[in-house]
């Protein structure tokens, strides 16, 4: 036998080839459960129809309407991120297929890349109907540059929520992750002004709101799509939460590794 | 020549439980080794170390000369998922494609499915397969990357007789082409049918590591069943005696020929004499708990 075969150093497939592979199959697995995809598309779209379109004062005002689209879009992204990662990771960890996939000749990287991109794709799926409704049924207008800025911002803003979701998914069972995600998502969305504009908040609530990652993300996103200015605190607040949730995700991942795969 | 699998002085704990206690095991190229042991003996832990899922507390594990925790070392390794864990919404050919594309030169999916009699099921979602079909798919997945070594954890558990025979053929074919196999099983029958070498593990230790023949010869217990009104448990050479319904008695002995001569010579009235070797399960029990059949009963007989 040759040295090449006895040393076992046959080359791995490239990182990006493996990432693409994992992305394709994760996408396939996700779309095979259409209700999960539809739920993520429908809830923000329905909110738009019930709460925004009928209100002439909002729907008829280009800036207010664009702000509403941005807020609900961010909600769709937060919801997709927390559910895909929080619940999805927790579910995957429970499957006996998980240790098998871990033993295939690929490191953890490609799977992680696949997961992040898959989450981003489904987040954007949730935003598309909102943009269509905003365009067709309200006075919201954006320039192509603002639309691009909005999509880019929303992906950037989703990062802390992806990390929070991973932290949840790696630290608890799927049964526990579901209520935890719900308990975190709705108060955060409300306090962040994703359902009601923060201009309606009393000042004490506005103070709390400004410290939440949802509010910081919303302000940045609204600024991007309407050309206005975000409060100076938005970026540092979002960065702070991102660091915190990254630490949580890494801690939970290591702890999980340590418990199951020492 | 480099060993395919080399485990030296490995100890692994889970909290208080000592799963592996200073285990050493080397598997050379082209060997077909069967690992036996009761549940919780440490077989699955050992396989998880060899497949890089865990690392030992102390000692070293080498796979084809490399560290199995390094993905590059696993390019020539094939393993089976548990059949219950296949992604239920993916189709059979999709699962095979997915696993295949982790390897540099996999077997064509169609060819592999043909080999395992799964071609007609290629478009079915794995959630709709029967237990036996999932089991076949699981073993097929271990071979898709043209591995040099496969780890098979209970490959035929839950299969019917024909399904088991078909899988055994596939494993034998792979081995005949030079592949190395390390398999675990609850079934001595399976190990006897496949393995050339047997490793018995219990309580995290290697109890026996020898050729199949040597292991089977080591346990030469005979079971003699006979009806008699007299109590035959006291005959010389009887290690242990049990009474069954009526006057039927079961006698365990190391030398059934001598016992029968003794029985005839004693002039005791008897009827319905039956003799058989210990079953494989009994041999296994004897290996795992020495004296379970013979030694312990000597104590009782005294």
How large is the ipTM? 0.77
Percent of chain A with pLDDT over 90: 31
pLDDT at A214: 95
More confident residue, B297 or A222: A222
DSSP-assigned letter for residue B85: G
d(CA A162, CA A46): 24
Q: Taking the domains of chain B in order of start, what are their residue ranges?
A: 5-76+148-217, 220-301
- Whether chain A has a CB inside 8 Å of the CB on B142: the answer is no
Query: Does A105 sit within 8 Å of B72, measured CB to CB?
Result: yes
Question: For B182-207, what is the mean pLDDT?
Answer: 87
Residue of B nearest to A1 (CA): B1
d(CA A108, CA A93): 13
pLDDT at B279: 60
Mean per-residue pLDDT over chain A, rounded: 85
d(CA A213, CA A208): 11
Question: For B269-277, what is the mean pLDDT?
Answer: 85
Percent of chain B with pLDDT over 70: 90
CATH superfamily ID and name for B5-76+148-217: P-loop containing nucleotide triphosphate hydrolases (3.40.50.300)
DSSP-assigned letter for residue A221: H
pLDDT at B252: 81
Q: Is the pLDDT of residue B56 over 70?
A: yes
Tell me: the pLDDT tens digits for A112-131?
788 888 888 888 888 888 88
| Structure tokens given for B84 | 């219950």
pLDDT at B292: 54
Please tell me the class of the B220-301 domain. alpha beta
| Residues B35, B43 contacting (CB under 8 angstroms) | yes
Our CA dihedral for A234, A236, A240, A245, rounded to 10 degrees, sits at: 50
Question: For B148-162, what is the mean pLDDT?
Answer: 87
- DSSP-derived pairing of the beta strands B197-202 and B180-185: unpaired
> Which SS3 state, helix, strand or coil, does residue A144 take?
helix
Our CA dihedral for A165, A166, A172, A176, rounded to 10 degrees, sits at: 20
- Whether chain B has a CB inside 8 Å of the CB on A13: the answer is yes
Poorest-pLDDT segment among A181-190, B49-58, B286-295: B286-295
Our CA dihedral for B57, B154, B202, B220, rounded to 10 degrees, sits at: -150
Q: Is the pLDDT of residue B295 over 50?
A: no
pLDDT at A25: 93
pLDDT at B281: 63
- Whether chain A has a CB inside 8 Å of the CB on B148: the answer is yes
Mean per-residue pLDDT over chain B, rounded: 85
Tell me: the pLDDT tens digits for B84-114?
678 888 999 999 999 999 999 999 999 999 9
Q: Is the pLDDT of residue B1 over 60?
A: no
Half-sphere exposure in the Cβ direction for A228 (13 Å, CA): 15
d(CA A13, CA A110): 11
Tell me: the pLDDT tens digits for A3-56?
334 444 567 888 999 999 999 998 998 888 777 777 777 888 888 888 888 888
Tell me: the pLDDT tens digits for B23-52?
999 999 999 999 988 888 888 889 999 998
Q: Is the pLDDT of residue B282 over 90?
A: no
d(CA B168, CA B188): 14
Tell me: the pLDDT tens digits for A190-228?
999 998 888 889 999 999 999 999 999 999 999 998 888
Q: How many CB atoms lie within 10 A of CB A106?
A: 24
- Whether chain A has a CB inside 8 Å of the CB on B15: the answer is no
Q: Is the pLDDT of residue B298 over 60?
A: no
- In total, chain B counts a number of residues equal to 302
| Residues B139, B116 contacting (CB under 8 angstroms) | yes
B73 contacts in chain A (CB < 8 Å): 8-9
Tell me: the pLDDT tens digits for A127-164?
888 889 988 888 888 888 888 999 999 988 988 998 99
d(CA B289, CA B260): 27
- Best probe of the B interface among A8, A9, A24, by most B CBs < 10 A, is A8
- Whether chain B has a CB inside 8 Å of the CB on A8: the answer is yes
């Amino acid at each position: 036998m040759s040295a090449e075969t006895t040393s076992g150093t046959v080359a791995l497939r490239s990182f990006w080839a493996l990432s693409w592979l994992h992305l394709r199959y994760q996408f396939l697995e996700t779309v095979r459960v259409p209700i999960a995809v539809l739920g993520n598309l429908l809830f923000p779209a329905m909110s738009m129809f019930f709460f925004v379109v009928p209100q002439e004062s909002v729907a008829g005002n280009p800036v207010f309407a664009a702000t509403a689209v941005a807020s609900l879009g961010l909600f769709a992204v937060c919801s997709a991120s927390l559910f895909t990662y929080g619940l999805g990771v927790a579910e995957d960890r429970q499957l006996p297929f998980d240790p098998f996939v871990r033993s295939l000749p690929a490191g953890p990287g490609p799977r992680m890349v696949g997961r992040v991109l898959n989450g981003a794709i489904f987040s954007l799926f949730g935003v598309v109907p909102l943009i269509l409704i905003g365009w067709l049924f309200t006075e919201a207008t954006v320039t192509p540059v603002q639309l691009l800025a909005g999509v880019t911002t929303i992906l950037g803003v989703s990062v802390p929520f992806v990390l929070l979701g991973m932290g949840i998914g790696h630290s608890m069972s799927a049964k526990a992750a579901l209520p935890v995600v719900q308990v975190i998502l709705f108060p955060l969305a409300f306090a962040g002004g994703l359902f009601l504009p923060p201009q309606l908040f009393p000042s004490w609530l506005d103070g709390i709101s400004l410290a939440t990652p949802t509010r910081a993300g919303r302000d940045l996103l609204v600024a991007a799509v309407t050309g206005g200015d975000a409060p100076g605190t938005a970026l540092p607040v979002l960065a702070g939460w991102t660091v915190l949730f990254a630490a949580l995700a890494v801690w939970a991942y290591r702890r999980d590794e340590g418990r199951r795969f020492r | 020549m480099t060993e395919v699998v080399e485990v030296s002085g490995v100890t692994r704990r889970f909290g208080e439980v000592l799963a592996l206690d200073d285990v050493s095991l080397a598997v050379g190229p082209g060997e077909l080794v069967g690992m036996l042991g009761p549940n919780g003996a440490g077989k699955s832990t050992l396989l998880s170390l060899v497949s890089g899922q865990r690392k030992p507390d102390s000692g070293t594990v080498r796979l084809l000369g490399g560290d199995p925790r390094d993905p590059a070392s696993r390019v020539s390794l094939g393993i089976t998922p548990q059949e219950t864990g296949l992604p239920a919404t993916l189709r059979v050919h999709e699962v095979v494609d997915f696993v295949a594309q982790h390897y540099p030169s996999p077997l064509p999916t169609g060819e592999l499915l043909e080999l395992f009699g799964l071609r007609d099921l290629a478009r079915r979602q794995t959630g709709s397969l029967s237990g036996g079909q999932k089991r076949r798919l699981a073993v097929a997945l271990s071979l898709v990357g043209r591995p040099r070594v496969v780890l098979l954890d209970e490959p035929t558990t839950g299969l019917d007789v024909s399904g088991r025979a078909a899988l055994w053929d596939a494993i034998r074919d792979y081995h005949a082409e030079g592949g190395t196999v390390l398999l675990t099983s609850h079934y001595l029958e399976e190990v006897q049918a496949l393995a050339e070498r047997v490793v018995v593990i219990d309580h995290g230790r290697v109890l026996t590591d020898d050729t199949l023949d040597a292991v089977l010869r080591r346990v030469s217990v005979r079971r003699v069943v006979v009806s008699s009104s007299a109590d035959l448990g006291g005959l010389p050479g009887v290690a242990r005696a049990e009474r069954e319904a009526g006057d039927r008695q079961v006698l365990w002995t190391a030398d059934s020929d001598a016992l029968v001569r003794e029985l005839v010579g004693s002039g005791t009235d008897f009827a319905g004499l039956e003799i058989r070797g210990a079953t494989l399960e009994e041999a296994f029990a004897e290996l795992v708990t020495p004296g379970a059949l013979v030694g312990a009963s000597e104590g009782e007989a005294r």
